[in-house]
Structure 1
Amino acid sequence: MWLVGLVSLSSVLTACGTSLKKFPLQEKFGSTSTYSRLFDSTPAHTCEAARRALLSQGYITNITRDDLVTGQKSFQPDGESHLQLEIRVVCVPDSKDGQISLGFVTALQDRYALKKSNNSASVGVSAIGSVSLPFTSSNESMVKVGSETIVSDAFYDRFFDLVKQYLVSNAEPDEAP
């Protein structure tokens, strides 16, 4: 009896193991500068420059702190799709005196598609015969169909260049002796 139970348990576990989809390993965790840059400024100044860079490109900033800025922008390439891009910037000190900071940036793109659904019903009235009156309605809604992290080096290079421009333009002049 216990042997039958053991065989049954084994087959259930095997079935569960084979029904799980295996995803390819995508993280390499190598040394790369795609998502980070060093800045010759404090974390607060770096995040402020990042906030200004996002605002200058039409992003709506959701969180604005000395160590974190997030911004969001929407795009509609055609009538049946929608893209939403969210950029997150984290600013941390990278020197003991806090005058050098490291900015980490990640951009996440969500894709939405138009979903159309038709609902119909008919009503039969038996007192006067077999009469059907069709009632139809259609609903359209945007449904999230995908989400991905932007991995383009050129995208992040352009963003970091814009942050550097705002750091230079908002740098405090040195005090004269």
Structure 2
Amino acid sequence: MMCRRFLLLLPVLLMLAACSTNNSSKLQHEEFGQTNVFTRSFAGTDQSACEAARRALLSQGYVINDWQKTLIKGRRKYQHDADVHSEIEFNVVCVADSKGSNSTTVFANAIRDRYSLKKSNNSASIGVSAIGSVSLPFGSTDDALVKVASETIPTGQFYNQFFDLLDRYLDSTRYPNESDTDKKDMLLPENLGPTPSPPPELK
């Protein structure tokens, strides 16, 4: 009797276990982790870091949609085959660390949208005075791209390649205002040494 009850409950237990497994797998991409996939720290100012990020994206064929001193947004399109089209939107935010540290944390994330080519048939209508309009099964075919998926790219290697490329451009990139500020600081009176005394008056 007990075995028969167990056999009857077995399918229910298996279904509950499957539901629990599916829910946990769905939450894996929604939890906050301790990894630094989307961030990296660099020496220098936030403006220098974002300028290097802009050049890194441009070098890889991204079109810059929004460009501010500490915010970059770029987009790149891919055509994998005739019916599938993909776009990557890359977002970069540069945040200066504590004042006086001369370091910046760069946050980056990329969203990949996928589009599929859908065909729709348009039937032709003919007006007949006696019975009104009649739709006939012939006409034109329209093709349209329809978004079928959108996901944040989670691959660490993808962001490591971007950060490494940013670092290469950061070595030779300075934000235009920085050099001017350095020159102004060099010309401050306290940096020019003691003021020379005036020449003696001629008698």
Q: TM-score range by the shorter chain?
A: 0.7 to 0.9
Whichever residue aligns with residue 90 of structure 2, its letter is I
TM-score of the two chains, using structure 1 as the length reference: 0.76
1:33 counterpart residue number: 36
Matches within 5 A, 1:100-139: 100-121=103-124, 123=126, 135-139=138-142
1:12 counterpart residue number: none
Asked if the contact 1:122–1:134 (Cα under 8 Å) also holds between the matched residues in 2, the reply is no
Task: Give the whole-Å Cα distance in 2 for the aligned partners of 1:37 and 1:81.
Answer: 33
TM-score of the two chains, using structure 2 as the length reference: 0.67
- Residues 119, 96 of structure 1: alpha-carbon distance in 2 compared, 3 angstrom cutoff: same
Task: Give the whole-Å Cα distance in 2 for the aligned partners of 1:165 and 1:80.
Answer: 37
Matches within 5 A, 1:41-60: 41-60=44-63
Task: Give the whole-Å Cα distance in 2 for the aligned partners of 1:72 and 1:153.
Answer: 19
- Residues 120, 133 of structure 1: alpha-carbon distance in 2 compared, 3 angstrom cutoff: closer
Task: Give the whole-Å Cα distance in 2 for the aligned partners of 1:165 and 1:78.
Answer: 33
Q: Secondary structure at the match of 1:62?
A: strand
The alpha-carbon deviation at position 112 of structure 1 amounts to 0.1
Matches within 5 A, 1:150-169: 150-169=153-172
Task: Kindly indicate whether residue 153 of structure 2 is the aligned counterpart of residue 140 of structure 1.
Answer: no
Task: Give the whole-Å Cα distance in 2 for the aligned partners of 1:62 and 1:47.
Answer: 14
- Residues 27, 122 of structure 1: alpha-carbon distance in 2 compared, 3 angstrom cutoff: closer
1:66 counterpart residue number: 69
Looking at secondary structure, tell me which structure has more helix per residue: 2
Provide the identity percentage: 51
Structure 1 residue ranges without an equivalent (≥5): 1-21
- Residues 87, 124 of structure 1: alpha-carbon distance in 2 compared, 3 angstrom cutoff: closer
Looking at secondary structure, tell me which structure has more strand per residue: 1
- Residues 91, 124 of structure 1: alpha-carbon distance in 2 compared, 3 angstrom cutoff: closer
1:24 counterpart residue number: 26
Which of 90, 100, 110 is the equivalent residue of 1:97? 100
The alpha-carbon deviation at position 81 of structure 1 amounts to 1.1
The alpha-carbon deviation at position 64 of structure 1 amounts to 1.0
The alpha-carbon deviation at position 165 of structure 1 amounts to 0.1
Task: Give the whole-Å Cα distance in 1 for the aligned partners of 2:53 and 2:155.
Answer: 18
Task: Give the whole-Å Cα distance in 2 for the aligned partners of 1:93 and 1:65.
Answer: 15
CA RMSD of aligned residues (A): 2.8
Structure 2 residue ranges without an equivalent (≥5): 1-22, 184-203
Asked if the contact 1:111–1:147 (Cα under 8 Å) also holds between the matched residues in 2, the reply is yes
